[in-house]
Chain A
Amino acid sequence: MSLISKLKQSNYQIVMVTAVLVVILAFWKPHVLIEGVQRACLYAVIALPMALILGIVGIINLAHGAYMMLGAYFAYWLNVYTGMDPLLAILPALAAFFLIGIASYRAIIKHVLGTPELNQLLLTFGLAMVLEQLANLMWTSRPIKLPLQYVSSSATIGSFTFGTYEFVYVGAAILMLVGLQLFLKRTDLGQAAMAVGQNPRGARLVGIHVDRTYLLIFSLSIALIGALGAIFMTRHSIFPLVGGAFTMKSFCLIAMAGIGNLMGILWCSLILGLAENFVLSFRGYAGWADILFFALIVGVIIVRSRQRQVK
């Protein structure tokens, strides 16, 4: 009982902090509020699949951002060869990356599942490097951007203008969060996944096919992140190392929210997104925005380790 109330309490604190931030910004810098929310949803939607793998399969995937990058290049390649709009490429990306996920799991990930965390970290790091260099090999490190018209759509309220295309991230985040909650709570596979995530041995004992569950969840996550890459491609220029920052920020968000806390990731993304855009709004200090996630994760670690003192 008290575990649940503690969780609710920590979510409650996060929600309060974000609510206060939102209100302040709405009056002071509405620009920051809107762009911050958009950016936050981008972070959330990238972090959620990683949280799924970490919570259920129990492995930290340092190659997460690299898969997203490959999804982006996949959409680019489709566009170059078939003229397909990257947003439409979401569907083939989902399929292609589901298969890539299966292949990755069978060939590589499966073998380190029981092994020490060290091995998993090193393996996925190596994998990330391989994927990044693969992209480097095929497309060089020159940044690539597609000249799409609709991404520059904007709206004006009162005296300020903001981009409206980026709300696609907000839509994606809501969709993914709702979709994942429904999946985990209402479907057989989702329930099996939650059981496996909490207690793999127990799950096996009641007849759940643990390995197949891992396979499906991992592949689902890779499919989602590949499709996200396609969406990402529309708005940003891509290069082989583009995924790295997102891997780190995703982990930061998961650490802040706590493993298994999917809703919390959304709130923490809001904090990160708003904070980054806030810093970005000050001309002279814009470059420092990329340090924020680091300060956040170090802060989280310090706070967590204080709590854990009551070991």
Chain B
Amino acid sequence: MRNSRYLLYLILFLILLTLPLYTGVYFLNVMDIILIYMALALSWDMLLRSGQISFGMAGLFGVGGYAAALLHLHTGMNPIVSIALGGGVAGALAWIIGSAVLQLRGMYFAIVTLALAEIFRVIVRNLPDLTGGPEGTVLPSAIFAGDSTRTYFLVLSVAVASVLASEIFQRTRIHFALTSIRNDEIVAKSSGIDVFKYLVFIFVVTSAIQGVVGGAYAHIYGFVSPEGSFSVDFTLLPIAMALLGGMHSTWGPVVGAVVLGVVSEFLKLQIPYGHLMVYGLIIVVAILFFPQGIVGTLGQKMKKTGSQ
């Protein structure tokens, strides 16, 4: 039984790997967007498993983007290295902020993260010499000179890395720590778990992922700006995707990203202003009626039929 599942994963992976052979540029670009949001949705869910919500994805995504773009621009370093460092910068910031704020969790942490995008936007706007100010900065060229196949492989590797990270969080002792912390901190503490240290660790790791994704995005589009790089899209969509697909799992955010990624392509054309409302509605409806999401609800239905 296990073997057939791994076979399925392998086939999927091979399909994804060979996509550029039989699809065109437009399709690959759509895949890029789906994979970027998938990585963000996964990283959001990974923190959620500890019981904490971050609304700061746009902020860390943008920080990673700016770091990667500016490092490349001012020091000429290899774009890939700059993307990795973008993740490092985001992780470092998360470490500082998390260490300060994670002593008080819940809504205090959540609202501080909500403010992150705004704060970073203000900082970026006020250091025009470094960051290009309100107009942003254009990079001399997009990464790989805009070659869509190599861009796709870059994004694919980031997404695969996120999936792997998520699975590691699900299958190792980290899963036990996360589940304990989320459900009952006192039991967690009494069983030897250093709750604060774990939470900071998870926040740093997930923020680093968001920074890497942001760095990749910046290089792919060759452009960073206060409005674009810190857009609320990067917080709203991943949350909607994770909730739609099902939280506390790897498959949930993946499925949610694919579904909503495809849907968003249509929506952008039909309703140019305000299509984001759909994602807000999805979040509201999911919390009210389907806290388990698609994957979770299906999983429960399968368990029920299985026991009959």
* Residues of A near any B CB (own CB < 8 A): 60, 62, 108, 111-112, 117-119, 121-123, 125-134, 136-138, 140-141, 241, 244-245, 248, 251, 255, 287-288, 290-291, 293-294, 297-298, 301-302, 304-305, 308
Cβ 8 A contact of B118, one of A119, A123, A245: A245
Whether A136 pairs with B288 at a CB distance below 8 angstroms is no
- Chain A residues near B126 (CB-CB < 8 A): 287-288
Contact pattern, B 53-72, Cβ under 8 Å of A = 1, otherwise 0: 10100000000000000000
- Chain B residues near A134 (CB-CB < 8 A): 274, 277
Whether B284 pairs with A251 at a CB distance below 8 angstroms is no
Given contacts A118-B53, A129-B280, list 4 more A-B pairs with CB under 8 A.
A127-B284, A133-B280, A301-B103, A305-B103
A62–B112 CA distance with the chains assembled, in angstroms: 12
- Chain B residues near A128 (CB-CB < 8 A): 280
A282–B104 CA distance with the chains assembled, in angstroms: 34
Whether A304 pairs with B243 at a CB distance below 8 angstroms is no
A60–B101 CA distance with the chains assembled, in angstroms: 18
Chain B CB within 10 Å, residue with most, of A122, A248, A298, A308: A122
Closest partner residue, chain B, to A134 (CB atom): B277
- Chain A residues near B283 (CB-CB < 8 A): 122-123, 125-126, 129
| B residues contacting the other copy or chain, number (CB 8 A) | 43
Q: Does B77 sit at the interface, judged by CB under 8 A?
A: no
Chain A CB within 10 Å, residue with most, of B97, B107, B119: B107
Closest 7 pairs (CB-CB, A-B): A126-B283, A137-B274, A129-B280, A305-B103, A133-B277, A130-B280, A287-B126
Q: Does B12 sit at the interface, judged by CB under 8 A?
A: no
- Chain B residues near A136 (CB-CB < 8 A): 273-274, 276-277
- Chain A residues near B277 (CB-CB < 8 A): 129-130, 133-134, 136-137
Can you name 10 A-B pairs with beta carbons within 8 Å? A117-B106, A123-B287, A126-B279, A127-B280, A130-B280, A133-B275, A251-B107, A291-B123, A298-B97, A301-B108
Whether A119 pairs with B273 at a CB distance below 8 angstroms is no
Please count the residue pairs between chain A and chain B whose beta carbons lie under 8 angstroms apart in the complex.
Answer: 123
**Of residues 246 to 265 in B, which have CB atoms within 8 Å of A's CB atoms?**
none
- Chain B residues near A251 (CB-CB < 8 A): 107, 111
A302–B111 CA distance with the chains assembled, in angstroms: 15
Whether B119 pairs with A291 at a CB distance below 8 angstroms is yes
Contact pattern, B 83-116, Cβ under 8 Å of A = 1, otherwise 0: 0000000000000010011011011101110110
A136–B279 CA distance with the chains assembled, in angstroms: 14
| Contact status of A301 and B101, CB under 8 A, knowing A108-B284, A130-B281 | yes
| Contact status of A133 and B276, CB under 8 A, knowing A287-B122, A301-B103, A301-B112 | yes
Whether B53 pairs with A122 at a CB distance below 8 angstroms is yes
**Of residues 151 to 170 in B, which have CB atoms within 8 Å of A's CB atoms?**
none
A308–B106 CA distance with the chains assembled, in angstroms: 15
Q: Does B271 sit at the interface, judged by CB under 8 A?
A: yes
Closest partner residue, chain B, to A130 (CB atom): B280
Least distance between B120 CB and chain A CB atoms (Å): 10
A304–B102 CA distance with the chains assembled, in angstroms: 12
Contact pattern, B 110-141, Cβ under 8 Å of A = 1, otherwise 0: 11101100110011011000000000000000
Whether A248 pairs with B114 at a CB distance below 8 angstroms is yes
Contact pattern, B 199-234, Cβ under 8 Å of A = 1, otherwise 0: 000000000000000000000000000000000100
- Chain B residues near A302 (CB-CB < 8 A): 100-101, 103
A255–B97 CA distance with the chains assembled, in angstroms: 17
Contact pattern, B 273-308, Cβ under 8 Å of A = 1, otherwise 0: 111110111111001100100000000000000000
Closest partner residue, chain A, to B128 (CB atom): A287
Whether A119 pairs with B55 at a CB distance below 8 angstroms is no
| Contact status of A298 and B101, CB under 8 A, knowing A129-B236, A133-B280, A287-B125 | yes
A131–B274 CA distance with the chains assembled, in angstroms: 10
- Chain A residues near B291 (CB-CB < 8 A): 119
Q: Does B238 sit at the interface, judged by CB under 8 A?
A: no
- Chain A residues near B288 (CB-CB < 8 A): 108, 111-112, 123
Closest partner residue, chain B, to A111 (CB atom): B288
Q: Does B46 sit at the interface, judged by CB under 8 A?
A: no
Least distance between A160 CB and chain B CB atoms (Å): 26
Whether B123 pairs with A62 at a CB distance below 8 angstroms is no
Whether A130 pairs with B122 at a CB distance below 8 angstroms is no
Cβ 8 A contact of B276, one of A111, A129, A290, A301: A129
Whether A119 pairs with B287 at a CB distance below 8 angstroms is yes
- Chain B residues near A117 (CB-CB < 8 A): 106-107
- Chain A residues near B195 (CB-CB < 8 A): none
Least distance between B200 CB and chain A CB atoms (Å): 13
- Chain B residues near A112 (CB-CB < 8 A): 287-288
A147–B101 CA distance with the chains assembled, in angstroms: 43
Whether B111 pairs with A126 at a CB distance below 8 angstroms is no
- Chain A residues near B100 (CB-CB < 8 A): 298, 301-302
Q: Does B239 sit at the interface, judged by CB under 8 A?
A: yes
Least distance between B142 CB and chain A CB atoms (Å): 27
